[in-house]
Amino acid sequence: MTNKKIRKAVFPVAGLGTRFLPATKAIPKEMLTVVDKPVIQYVVDEAREAGIEHFIFVTGRNKAVIEDHFDIQFELNATLRERGKTEPLERLAAMQPAAGTTSFTRQQEPLGLGHAVWCARELVGDEPFALLLPDMIMQSRKSCMAEMAELYEHTGGNVIALQECDPAEAHKYGIVGKGRDVRNGFEITKMVEKPKPGTAPSSLYINGRYILQPEIFKILATQERGAGNEIQLTDAMLTLAKSQPFHGVHYRGRTFDCGSPEGFIEANIAFGLWRPDMHAHVLSAIERLSTEVAPPQ
């Protein structure tokens, strides 16, 4: 089966990050660092591992620093070279997208995820694309998007990444019904947004990674507002599923919601422990602080 290659990825980064105020008053939440890299860098690296060639950022006000991050800073590079700092120079070069492979467009009104995706329509064009929610960062040997791209090469259509949740918590998420197994994934038989307790078709929830066909844009263009008076991507996917297949990948790595302070702290601990040069120190600090530090009375 021959399918169009997934060349482009969309990153909706227009959110205000209100759960992180006052930290995000002047700094975009996507630029908060997990260990020594901004959150958005982890997500872009995941897309690059899956073979993505073009990175499309849907931004909002006060997000120019994201564009600066993915640009070359000549003064910094010159200073590092003068001081013989080759290791950080090499790390910066490895993270640098090639010239002409990043695009930025504005979501001028906060009308929801579906609207943010629609804002990228002219840059994506008439081809399938990846969508990665930048609040969610993944930790595994093989990236979540790489697993999805592998399945897409066989099935085509639309692919969603899913993870297991506590069945008692299923009413908080978008949940799918699982059909027959296909390669490293399975057919999706239904999608339900926040099902009523006890009615969920499974305990597999949508974790913020998608491969979508361009027909989604036409649906989003006329999509009525849904929950929260916003244009919901899930509503548009439900419409698209009437005419196109959806498949799922059961991702078994770790996912951290860096849109919440709790998830952000977990991510820093997990990625610190994953670093051979930091593992012992982080582990020791956790053990020591857990006995020395108590919440204020």
Assign residue 150 the CATH number of its domain: 3.90.550.10
Indicate whether 297 belongs to any domain: no
- pLDDT per residue, tens digit, the chain (297 aa), is 457 899 999 999 998 888 888 888 888 999 999 999 999 999 999 999 999 999 999 998 888 899 999 988 889 989 989 899 889 888 888 888 888 999 999 998 888 899 999 999 999 999 999 999 999 999 999 999 999 999 999 999 999 999 999 998 888 888 999 999 998 899 999 888 888 888 889 999 999 999 999 999 999 998 887 777 788 898 899 999 999 999 999 999 999 999 899 999 999 999 999 999 999 999 999 999 988 877 776
Measured distance CA(25)–CA(269) in Å, rounded: 24
Indicate whether 59 belongs to any domain: yes
Number of domains in the chain: 1
Indicate whether 3 belongs to any domain: no
Indicate whether 259 belongs to any domain: yes
Residue ranges making up the domain that contains 129: 8-292
Residues in CB range of 186: below 8 A, 6 or more apart: 178, 179, 180, 247, 248, 250
Predicted TM-score (pTM) above 0.85: yes
- pLDDT confidence of residue 275: 94
Work out whether strand 8-12 and strand 54-59 pair parallel, antiparallel, or are unpaired: parallel
Indicate whether 1 belongs to any domain: no
Indicate whether 22 belongs to any domain: yes
